[in-house]
Structure 1
Amino acid sequence: EMLLRNQCICPCGNQSGGKEYQVSQQRLNWFEAASYCNAIGMSLVTIKDEDESRRLYEKTGTTLRSSEYWIGANLLTTSYHLQWELSGEITLYEPWANGEPQKGKGHCVFIKPLYGVFNTWYMDNCLKERNFICQY
């Protein structure tokens, strides 16, 4: 039933070596979203640069039903460097919205699409429920 509420956006059997995305129409907290993605062999999306952000928007933009999506960036294991959920790598690309990050608000990152790219990041409480994007 959960799979019916989500939409896979990909060239399945991807020949180009690009990423496959699944945009969830279900709202979960960050931990549940990460577990859900892992359970289906995926992870919360990583966005390592502006080109990757633009490609993600190009592949998913027409299916977006919400304005806020959890991504894999978080401050859960360290209080001073964002890390990606999948690899533990420190994030180098961090296109924060004005006034962000507000670390006192939480430890997990969500994105909002703006001007054809996911270029606005926000920090919030990881227990808040939002839509999310998985990647393979």
Structure 2
Amino acid sequence: MLWPKLIGFAVLSLLLAQLQFIPSDAAVSGCSDNFTQVAGKCLFAANYWYNWYQAERHCRSLGAGLFNLQNQTQLQQISDWLNATLPYTIEFWTSGNKLGQYGANYYWQNTGEQAHYLPWANGQPLAASGDCVTLFANYTYYEGILGYNLVVRNCTHPSPHVCEKQTQITDNRICLKTGSYENVQVLL
């Protein structure tokens, strides 16, 4: 009765020795460290009161940059997340600025692209206020924060900030070799 078990074990061992990689069913997309996936981005809300330059430097130290906006849907999702993450914070630095520009165009620092979606608050942009852009809350005393719009500030104004990282796509694979087992995560 021991022979059938030994033969089965030998056959299984030979099959496993032939396998090198078994790919997972699907690639996994996610965020690293303390970043949260919101609106297709990996975001980190920092409640440190830094000026724009310090905020940008802080994000860079995390392998990220200050965040930007592309559309209304993204603004709504980020607004909802900020209300849940830091509910009483009314202003956050973005990567938006017109540093070194004489015209009315604003750019996203983290991509270098001209900002086309700019949901300004009433009376904005007010160029005399500065060259950097914050996400500023629309709020009432009774209802709290209702949403966010963009406001121009002096770049030395202290404010919390939001860092943005690209989502990481990984493919998990199991490597089976004789006498060992390894789980490898491959960045795509």
Q: TM-score range, shorter-chain basis?
A: 0.7 to 0.9
Cα deviation per residue 1:7-58 (whole Å; 9 max; x = unaligned)?
Answer: 94514xxxx9921111111100000000110111011011111111112123
* Alpha-carbon separation, structure 1, partners of 2:97 and 2:106: 5
TM-score of the aligned structures, taking structure 2 as reference length: 0.61
Percent of pairs with identical residues = 25
Q: In the superposition, relative to structure 1, how do residues 56 and 118 fare at CA in structure 2: closer, same or farther (>3 Å)?
A: same
Pair 1:56 & 2:82 matched: no
Contact 2:39/2:78 (8 A) holds in 1: no
From the CA coordinates, give the structure whose radius of gyration is larger.
Answer: 2
Q: Aligned in 2, Cα 1:131/1:22: closer, same or farther, shift over 3 Å?
A: same
Instruction: Give the direction of change, closer, same or farther, for the CA distance of 1:44–1:52 in structure 2 (3 Å limit).
Output: same
Deviations 1:79-104 (A, max 9, x none): 22100011110000111111111111
2:151 counterpart SS class = strand
Residue 76 (structure 1) aligned to one of 92, 95, 99: 99
Distance in 2 (alpha carbons) for counterparts of 1:30 and 1:95: 19
CA distance in structure 2 between the aligned counterparts of 1:131 and 1:77, rounded to whole angstroms: 23
How far has the Cα of 1:119 moved from its partner? 3.9
Structure 1, unaligned stretches of length 5 or more?
1-6
Secondary structure of 1:104 counterpart: helix
Q: How many residues align?
A: 126
CA distance 1:55–1:10, change in 2 (3 Å): same
Deviation at 1:111, TM superposition (A): 1.0
1:43-79 per-position Cα deviation (integer Å, ceiling 9, x unaligned): 1011111111112123332112410111010010312
Q: More strand per residue: 1 or 2?
A: 2
Q: Aligned letter for 1:19?
A: K
Matches within 5 A, 1:35-114: 35-64=57-86, 65-80=88-103, 81-114=105-138
Change (3 A) 1:55 1:41: same
Whether 1:133 aligns to 2:162 is yes
In structure 2, what is the equivalent of residue 26 of structure 1?
A: 48
SS of the residue 1:24 aligns to: strand
Corresponding residue SS for 1:70 = strand
CA distance in 1, matches of 2:107, 2:147: 18
> Which secondary structure does the structure 2 equivalent of 1:46 belong to?
coil
